[in-house]
Amino acid sequence: MAFEPLETDEKVDNPQKKGPDMDTVMLFGCSGFVVTSIGGYILSVWPFLLFQDSERITTLGTSCAFGLLPAAILGMVSSRKFGLAGACGFVGGSMATGIFMFLRIQQAFVAAFARQAPPPDYPQILMYLVPLSWVIVSLVLALLLVPNEKAEP
């Protein structure tokens, strides 16, 4: 008859702690990835949808402050809690956010060129620098906060 939790006939002097099974680990990691990526994207994007005058640098700065700061906090917490899965979710969500920001900033320049809106009061290079810097900052934060996971032999 097997002895629990080892399910073996061998008698062990010290009680052995049973680790989490593979399904639990996979579900925990996948859930962390999905929650972090979608949550980070929603947290990052809502100010850009709320503040419509995207041709102003103050609006761009306000949108970044209200959106990217909470998303960065979520990403740092998820990177620490879920490990590599949370960090990858953070970076994946920030990449989607970077694409959204690129398109939103580009929209301001396209509207200005069509003479439908006032020209933006910031240089056109920000169309590339703001999204790219957000992705880089997210990647650095994720790498710094992922706990060391040592492989068991």
Q: What's the pLDDT band for 127 if we cut at 50, 70, 90?
A: confident
The predicted model scores a pTM of 0.68
**What pLDDT digit, counting tens, does each position of 17-76 carry?**
777 777 777 777 788 889 999 999 999 999 989 988 878 889 989 998 999 999 999 999
- Which residues, in sequence order, are CB contacts of 48 under 8 Å at separation 6+? 54, 63, 67, 100, 101, 104
User: Regarding predicted confidence, which is higher, 75 or 12?
Assistant: 75
* 131 within a domain of the structure (yes/no): yes
Q: Which of 31, 44, 130 is nearest to 88 (CA)?
A: 31
* 57 within a domain of the structure (yes/no): yes
* 6 within a domain of the structure (yes/no): no
The Cα angle at residue 103 between residues 97 and 108, in degrees rounded to 5: 130
* 10 within a domain of the structure (yes/no): no
CB 148 within 8 A of CB 80: no
Phi-psi label, residue 83: left if phi above 0, alpha if psi -120 to 50, beta otherwise: left
* 12 within a domain of the structure (yes/no): no
* 85 within a domain of the structure (yes/no): yes
Which range of residues forms the domain containing residue 51? Answer: 23-145
- The strand pairing partners of 3, in sequence order, are 8
Q: How many domains does the chain have?
A: 1
* 14 within a domain of the structure (yes/no): no
